């Protein structure tokens, strides 16, 4: 997939734009009704989701040549993994505290 970058055809670009716009609406709709107490876990969960950038770093690593790009890829993979793993774990820890039901006597 990487090889196509330089000559990314207009069609692919337009398709990506199409997905971008529709996804933005989905993101808006999904989050517009959230109880305040879940704002922090939601922010944290969303934070973990953009950790998908680790996939981008992996794709760079797959075709990395030369010390510079290898270093960039390595740092990208490390930071991206911190984002993913830390993000999901910390969100899970927050949500662990909400496990009781609203009527919940301990």
Partner 1 sequence: MTTLDILTFFVYLAGSVTFILGLKFLASPVSARRGNRLAATGMAIVVGWVFVTEFLLREGGLSTVWILAVGIPAGALAGAVGARRVPMTAMPQMVAIFNGAGGGAAALVAAAEFMRDAGSGADLLPVTFMIATLLGAVIGSVSFTGSIIAFGKLQGIVSGRPVTYPGDKVVTGALLAGILALGVVLTLVTNSVPLFLLFVALALVLGVAAVMPIGGADMPVVVSLLNSYTGIAVAATGFVLNNYALLVAGTLVGASGGILTQLMCRAMNRSLFNVLFGAFGTAGGAAAAGATGDQNIREINAEDAAVLMAYGKKVIIVPGYGMAVAQAQQAVRELMDLLIAKGVDVEFAIHPVAGRMPGHMNVLLAEANVPYDRLKEMDEINGDFPNASVALVIGANDVTNPAARTDTTSPIYGMPILDVDKAEHVIVLKRSMAAGFAGIDNPLYADPKTTMLFGDAKKSVEALVSGVKAA
* DSSP run (H or E) holding 102: none
Beta carbons of 54 and 82 less than 8 angstroms apart: no
Q: Is 67 in the site for partner 1 (CB under 8 A)?
A: no
Minimum distance from CB of 3 to partner 1 (Å)?
Answer: 10
Minimum distance from CB of 37 to partner 1 (Å)?
Answer: 4
Residues 73-102 that bind partner 1 (CB under 8 A): 73-102
Minimum distance from CB of 4 to partner 1 (Å)?
Answer: 6
Dig out the tokens for 15 from the structure.
Answer: 């398709």
Minimum distance from CB of 33 to partner 1 (Å)?
Answer: 7
Residues 23-42 that bind partner 1 (CB under 8 A): 23-28, 30-42
Question: Which three-class secondary structure string do you get for 24-90?
Answer: HHHHHHHHCCCCHHHHHHHHHHHHHHHHHHHHHHHHHHHCCCHHHHHHHHHHHHHHHHHHHHHHHHH
């Amino acid at each position: 997939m990487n090889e196509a970058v330089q000559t990314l055809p207009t069609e692919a670009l337009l398709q990506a734009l199409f997905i971008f716009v529709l996804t933005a609406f989905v993101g808006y709709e999904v989050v517009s009704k959230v109880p305040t107490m879940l704002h922090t876990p939601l922010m944290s969960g969303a934070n973990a989701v953009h950790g998908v950038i680790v996939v981008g770093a992996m794709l760079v690593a797959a075709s990395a040549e030369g010390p510079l790009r290898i270093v960039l890829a390595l740092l990208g993979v490390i930071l991206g993994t911190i984002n993913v793993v830390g993000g999901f774990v910390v969100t899970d820890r927050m949500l662990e505290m909400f496990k009781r039901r609203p009527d919940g006597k301990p």
